[in-house]
A and B are shown apart, each in its own frame.
Chain A
Amino acid sequence: MIVRILGEGQYRLDDAAAPELNRLDAELQAAVDRNDEAAFGAALHGLLAAVRSHGSLEPPDTLSPSELILPPEDASLTEVRKMLTDEGLIPG
């Protein structure tokens, strides 16, 4: 599967990595729900690190869409909230 980290590029990962990514993603979601900035930063960092360590960077000229898309490393909780409500951050 292909996972995109926004602002960074696309990674190709083995499907076997999915359970770990889902677990980390759930942590991230929980932090967003609790509005917990510190936990959010740590969870996002952990999730992105897992994608990078399990995946290999796709060449930039591939046109395949990603199955999963993740916020950029330096995204704030507010930014991610905006992203999730489909307003503002992702242009047209």
Chain B
Amino acid sequence: MSVMKRVSMIFRAKANKALDRMEDPRETLDYSYQRQLEMLTKVRRGVADVATSRKRVELQMNQLQQEQGRRQEQAMKALGQGREDLAREALQRKAAVQTQLNELQGQYASLQAEEEKLTVASQRLQAKVDAFRTRKETIKATYTAAEAQTRINEAFSGISEEMGDVGMAIQRAEDKTAQMQARAGAIDELLASGALEDQVGGRTDDIQAELDRIGAGSDVELELAKMKGELAAGAPRQIEGSANGDANGAAGADRAGAAPAGGSQAQTQAQGPATTPAEPPRAGEDA
């Protein structure tokens, strides 16, 4: 038998099985409506779950992008220090991060698509549930159990088909999300272990450690060179003494200025609790 006929039959069989369980066909209406409401809740939760996963992937993508930027900087720095070997290593790691980023981008798009599908599915189900509620009340009010049978069967088959469809969409979205969560977990672990995370001089990032080592060495050299330059340029001025003298004077004035400020603070503090005993020392200070 053909694919479409078999799939349809399986759907119909499920609907019929549920219908057969009911003694009074009108009972089916209320029972089914309850299940529809549950399914609506389920599909909305599904949308929220997929959105959460998508946001997690987004966060990881940001982290990986930062990591890429850091590797790029390391490579530049290493090249600046004439360490092409180190720069190459940094760029290789940047490329590895790019591979992971590409994978995450694919996951992100896939989750986005699932979210969209489930959102549309929930809207469709909502429209059908609303229609069912109206139909249910009409059937209950107008028909006897026997008369209602055909009408109930039709409404029930229609809605149960939609429920099966939505249920399947939720299941598929859950499966996809679960797969991605496993992979996202692995990347989280990698980021947390410091293999990707910025750890200045950390155990895991040997490139950074090496750069820091070179960097510290060259900083000393730079400072020495600067001092030598200053000494050479500053020697005649020191003999003149004017610049240094002024600077010292200013610093002295600052220090002198700080003292009265502290003193007046002490005064206000002393003035607070006891006004009269504070009077004599203040007079002494003024004199």
Contacts and interface: CB of A to CB of B under 8 A. Distances in A.
Q: Decide whether A and B assemble into one complex.
A: yes
Given A61-B127, A62-B158, A68 B167 contact: no
A8 to B, nearest CB: 9
A92 B8 contact: no
Interface residues of A, number: 35
Contacts of B7: 6, 68-71, 83-84
B31 to A, nearest CB: 13
Interface of B is mostly: helix
- Identify which of A62, A63, A72 gathers the most chain B CB atoms within 10 Å of its CB: A63
Contacts, number: 101
B235 to A, nearest CB: 79
Contacts of B14: 90, 92
B8 A66 contact: yes
A47 B7 CA distance: 14
Contacts of A71: 3, 7
A31 B27 CA distance: 43
The 3 tightest CB contacts between A and B, nearest first, are A63-B158, A91-B167, A60-B127
Interface of B: 1-8, 10-15, 18, 117, 121, 123-124, 127-128, 130-132, 135, 154-155, 157-159, 161, 164-165, 167-169, 171-172
Interface of A: 3-4, 6-7, 9, 21-22, 25-26, 28-29, 32, 47, 59-72, 80, 83-84, 86, 89-92
